Structure 1
Amino acid sequence: MSSIKPLPNFLAQRYHGWKATTYDENKAWYRLLASEGQRPRAMVISCCDSRVHVTSIFGAEQGEFFIHRNIANLVPPFEPDGDHHGTSAAVEYAVTVLKVAHVVVLGHSLCGGVNGCLKMCSGEAPELEKSSSFVGRWMDILRPGYERIADVPEEEKARALEYQAVLVSLENLLTFPFVKERADAGLLSLHGLWTDISEGTLHSYHPDDGEFHPV
């Protein structure tokens, strides 16, 4: 356990700055959140990428979103096999306990996970093919999306696969019985978004024409 250290100074300083300003100015709100519990209206599933800042994009405050992050904002299909499923557990909790009204899958430009999947599926990343690669086995979720973009020009494949990461996740969400049940009852809606990091733009998936359009 010698590798475990106290919090580094730069993080401690940032915490104290937050505590003395943001928290202190909104102390009553934080205490209300603590006493009454969370009632988020939406769950957002986004990438771990540090450049994707969900609360900033939507100007959200504490308690508004139930946020789950993973590599490439993927949702696996419903597979109750007894193994550990962090994403599936988060979806279950959000839908059945918190009863969110919306589940949003948020993809983004220049996604490292998606790029890894692109290289793995095209044979350029043999290290990701190994059974010991956690990233590779996670990106297997996106293989159906890779197969769909076979005819897309090479220079457009990365963007196309980023879109597919959103679409595959939306499709997989509907394999969860409790998600489909609430969606069919009109109590839950699913949304697919993609954001361009450099431009700050946001695109929403429209099922009527199967395209992502600017918000």
Structure 2
Amino acid sequence: MSTFPERLLEGYQSFMTGRYTAERQRYRDLAEAGQEPHTLVIACCDSRAAPETIFDCGPGELFVVRNVANLVPPYAPDSNYHATSAALEFAVQSLKIRQIVVMGHGRCGGIKAALDPNAAPLSPGDFIGQWMGLLKPAAQQIQDSQLMTGGERQVALERISIRNSLANLRSFPCVKILEDKGKMALHGAWFDISTGELWVMDPKSGDFFRPEPGLA
């Protein structure tokens, strides 16, 4: 019989004697009153780009949705299973979150797969291939560019995917209506794993820039 991962048990013990002890009352308050996170972050499931760590947030501050390549699918009210859409619906309609951040990152494996026309499915279901099909039009345009290096193509699609997800967010009535009323704000961000740099998207131009401390 397999045993629970020892590294996780060690981490839990460290958590209980460290952070939990220091924030015991906060956890109790969250348990009693429920959660009231201030921001929904849609991020990649890459283990190197955890939003809670990057933004140094404590328990109850962020409502985080993570999937391959931080994609948001378009609004599709059908009988299929929609995990990201369900989480978005809960965040906006139930938790009343009014700040949404789509955060991509450098060296994203999902984006790399989307740019490789010869990538073989990892399984008969080809779940990653189908999921990354959301970016197929953009990926094909970038693949055809002979003026960019492989690294430039990667970063370009990582950032284009953020803008694409923001556009898809606006296809959800619950988001679009609130944004049009000035009650919802959508943001884009890109994190460079190798340097720790955070780039945020200008909402008007779509360009990414590094915010100065205190001016973000």
Q: TM-score, normalised by structure 2?
A: 0.90
Alignment of 1:147-158 (within 5 A): 147-149=140-142, 150-151=144-145, 153-155=147-149, 156-158=152-154
Q: Which residue identity is paired with 1:168?
A: N
SS of aligned partner of 1:104: strand
State whether residues 145 and 168 of structure 1, in contact with CA within 8 Å, keep that contact through their aligned partners in structure 2. Answer: no
Matched, 1:213 2:209: yes
**Structure 1 residue runs of 4+, over 2 Å off?**
147-154, 207-210
State whether residues 102 and 190 of structure 1, in contact with CA within 8 Å, keep that contact through their aligned partners in structure 2. Answer: yes
Residue in 1 aligned with 2:80?
Answer: 83
SS of aligned partner of 1:127: coil
Q: Quick one: structure 1 residues 138 and 195, their matched pair in 2 at CA, closer, same or farther if it must change by over 3 Å?
A: same
Q: Quick one: structure 1 residues 6 and 138, their matched pair in 2 at CA, closer, same or farther if it must change by over 3 Å?
A: same
Deviation at 1:165, TM superposition (A): 1.3
Aligned mates of 1:201, 1:101 — CA distance in 2: 25
Structure 1 unaligned spans of 5+: none
Aligned mates of 2:46, 2:114 — CA distance in 1: 15
State whether residues 187 and 203 of structure 2, in contact with CA within 8 Å, keep that contact through their aligned partners in structure 1. Answer: no
Residue in 2 aligned with 1:62?
Answer: 59
State which drifts further: 38-47 or 24-33: 24-33
158, 175, 179: which one pairs with 2:175?
179
Q: Which residue identity is paired with 2:42?
A: I
SS of aligned partner of 2:60: coil
Aligned mates of 1:152, 1:58 — CA distance in 2: 36
Q: TM-score, normalised by structure 1?
A: 0.91
Superposition CA RMSD, Å: 1.7
Residue in 2 aligned with 1:115?
Answer: 112
Aligned mates of 1:207, 1:21 — CA distance in 2: 39
Aligned mates of 1:172, 1:6 — CA distance in 2: 42
Deviation at 1:181, TM superposition (A): 0.9
Deviations 1:29-58 (A, max 9, x none): 110010010001110000011110211221
Matched, 1:192 2:188: yes
Deviation at 1:146, TM superposition (A): 1.7
Matched, 1:136 2:142: no
Q: Quick one: structure 1 residues 32 and 140, their matched pair in 2 at CA, closer, same or farther if it must change by over 3 Å?
A: same
Aligned mates of 1:194, 1:126 — CA distance in 2: 27
127, 139, 157: which one pairs with 2:121?
127
User: How many residues align structurally?
Assistant: 208
Matched, 1:161 2:157: yes
Q: Which residue identity is paired with 1:181?
A: I
Structure 2 unaligned spans of 5+: 212-216
Q: Which residue identity is paired with 2:92?
A: V
Q: Which residue identity is paired with 1:83?
A: N
Aligned mates of 1:187, 1:131 — CA distance in 2: 44
Deviation at 1:184, TM superposition (A): 0.9
Q: Quick one: structure 1 residues 210 and 23, their matched pair in 2 at CA, closer, same or farther if it must change by over 3 Å?
A: closer
State whether residues 199 and 210 of structure 2, in contact with CA within 8 Å, keep that contact through their aligned partners in structure 1. Answer: yes
